[in-house]
Structure 1
Amino acid sequence: MSILEVKNLTKTFGGLTANNDVSMAVEKNSITAVIGPNGAGKTTFFNMITGVYQPTSGSILLENEILVGLKPHEVCKKGIARTFQNIRLFNEMAVLENVMVGMHTHLRAGLFGILFNLPGIRKEEKVSEIKAYQLLEYVGLADLLNEKACNLSYGAQRRLEIARALAAGPKVLLLDEPAAGMNPKETKELTQLIKKMRDEFNLTVILIEHDMKLVMEISEHIVVLDHGEKIAEGKPEDIRKNPKVIEAYLGSGAVHAG
């Protein structure tokens, strides 16, 4: 059963076509990887799904509900959260506060309640603190809850960004190059965390990743983009030996040599 359906998605910037007629269906509770060489249009694809860019044409459906036309915070409220290729944390805020920010789309506090510090608002804030702490425990950062985000190691910042995304209570979690800059130990721990999140949070995970070892180990379905177009999709074992994929990554000479 598909939870997310993307049909004929195209995005142009002036005379440049970043994505051209890309379609995919993502099964509920699956882990899907979107791969391709640099400049293949992967992040643009994520940006359209999350409302950062509006597609030039095509449709995006989350559980048969139309997402095209919604703003990023509205897409998040519908059930899609994400991390970014370049980590985007509030560097001067505490680790706990960063996670609490991820809950903003589901909080009832209005400006009036915040200004006058009403009892209901105080209670909601306390509940948010508890939930944020639990998520930090989950990703292994509970002992750093009062540390500024900018003081965390690179791998810890990646996990903090994941905790903040989980705080939104998503149905679908998009991870944009989550293993970028990680050492082998951190990558192994990330692989285990992604599998654990999928199972325990009942999540559907879609990731962009260049670490092919991670992709082949964790993915159940892979979509390959090149120059903005989908050139292949299927199970990892099929993608590994696909001539079009080999050519996109290694050049036509590698196909002939193989």
Structure 2
Amino acid sequence: MDILEVTNLTKEFGGLTANKDVSMNVKEGSITAVIGPNGAGKTTFFNMITGVYQPTAGEIKLKGQSIVGLKPDEVAKKGISRTFQNIRLFGEMSVIENVLVGMHNHLKTSLFGIFLSLPNTKKEELQAEQEAYRLLEYFELSHLINEKANNLSYGAQRKLEIARALATQPKLILLDEPAAGMNPKETKELTDIIKRMGKEFGVTILLIEHDMKLVMELSEQIFVLDHGEKIAEGNPEAIRTNPKVIEAYLGSAAVQ
């Protein structure tokens, strides 16, 4: 079953067409990648799915229901969360507070009440903190729960942003270049986490990534964009050997 159906999606900014007639279906429970050179329209595509931009034309359906026209917070409530190419954490807040912020959509009481420990929020505060701690343990960040997010290493900040996205309890999570800026050890750790994450959290993963080793290892299906248009789709082997993809993006070295 397809969790996400995108049909003929187009986005124009004045005279510039960032995406043109992009269509793709993402299977529920899968790990799917969107790749392409810089300027191919990948982040614009993510921004339309998450309600940051409204498409000029086309349709986006989550589990059969249109989400076109919804604002980002409304899209999040429908079950889509994301990370960003440029990390967007609350730097002066603690690690656990950043994760708690991600839970606000499914908490009955306000974050204000939880942070101030108001009497009627005690039970939910405890439950939220336990859930946040479980997520931080999963990402091997539990020893840093009281550390300010700004003080974390780059790799830890990347993992914290994914933990916060998972805290929204999404059906679909969009990861925008999750391995960007990571060293090989951090990238390997992240690859292992993403590989397990889908099944263990029951979430479908759609990612943009330039690290082809990570993409080829993780992805069941890959879509390739170039100059805003989809030029190929298929499994990793089909993409690795596709002449159009090699010419536009991968280069001959990626075929080895």
Q: Does the pair score TM above 0.5?
A: yes
Shift of 1:157: 0.2
Shift of 1:117: 6.5
Cα pair distance change 1:154/1:117, threshold 3 Å = closer
Cα pair distance change 1:133/1:114, threshold 3 Å = closer
Secondary structure of residue in 1 paired with 2:232: strand
**Inter-partner Cα distance in structure 1 for 2:160 and 2:114:** 26
- Checking the alignment, whether the CA contact within 8 Å between 2:104 and 2:111 is kept in structure 1 is no
Cα pair distance change 1:170/1:114, threshold 3 Å = closer
Cα pair distance change 1:153/1:113, threshold 3 Å = closer
2:122 aligns to what?
122
Shift of 1:112: 9.9
1:221 equivalenced with 2:215 (yes/no): no
Secondary structure of residue in 1 paired with 2:169: coil
Secondary structure of residue in 2 paired with 1:92: coil
2:23 aligns to what?
23
Where do 5+ consecutive residues of structure 1 fail to align?
Answer: none
**Inter-partner Cα distance in structure 2 for 1:98 and 1:159:** 12
Shift of 1:249: 1.6
Q: Tell me the C-alpha RMSD between the 2 structures.
A: 2.0
1:139 equivalenced with 2:151 (yes/no): no
2:95 aligns to what?
95
2:181 aligns to what?
181
1:106 aligns to what?
106
**Inter-partner Cα distance in structure 2 for 1:109 and 1:209:** 36
Secondary structure of residue in 1 paired with 2:159: helix
Secondary structure of residue in 2 paired with 1:168: coil
**Inter-partner Cα distance in structure 1 for 2:156 and 2:112:** 36
**Inter-partner Cα distance in structure 2 for 1:96 and 1:173:** 20
- Checking the alignment, whether the CA contact within 8 Å between 2:3 and 2:26 is kept in structure 1 is yes
**Inter-partner Cα distance in structure 2 for 1:115 and 1:140:** 24
Shift of 1:118: 5.3
Counting matched residue pairs gives 254
Secondary structure of residue in 1 paired with 2:68: coil
TM-score by length of 2: 0.94
**Inter-partner Cα distance in structure 2 for 1:76 and 1:124:** 21
Q: What do residues 13-46 of structure 1 show as CA deviations (whole Å, max 9, x unaligned)? A: 1111000000000001000000000000000000
Matched to 1:195, the amino acid is K
Identity of aligned residues (%): 73
2:211 aligns to what?
211
Cα pair distance change 1:232/1:104, threshold 3 Å = same
Matched to 2:163, the amino acid is A
Deviates more, 1:104-113 or 1:182-191: 104-113
Q: What do residues 203-232 of structure 1 show as CA deviations (whole Å, max 9, x unaligned)? A: 110000000111111100000000000000
Shift of 1:120: 3.4
- Checking the alignment, whether the CA contact within 8 Å between 2:5 and 2:62 is kept in structure 1 is yes
Q: What do residues 31-88 of structure 1 show as CA deviations (whole Å, max 9, x unaligned)? A: 0000000000000000000011111111111101111111111111111111000000
2:76 aligns to what?
76
Secondary structure of residue in 2 paired with 1:206: strand
TM-score by length of 1: 0.94
**Inter-partner Cα distance in structure 2 for 1:207 and 1:194:** 10
1:165 aligns to what?
165
Shift of 1:123: 2.0
Cα pair distance change 1:56/1:130, threshold 3 Å = same
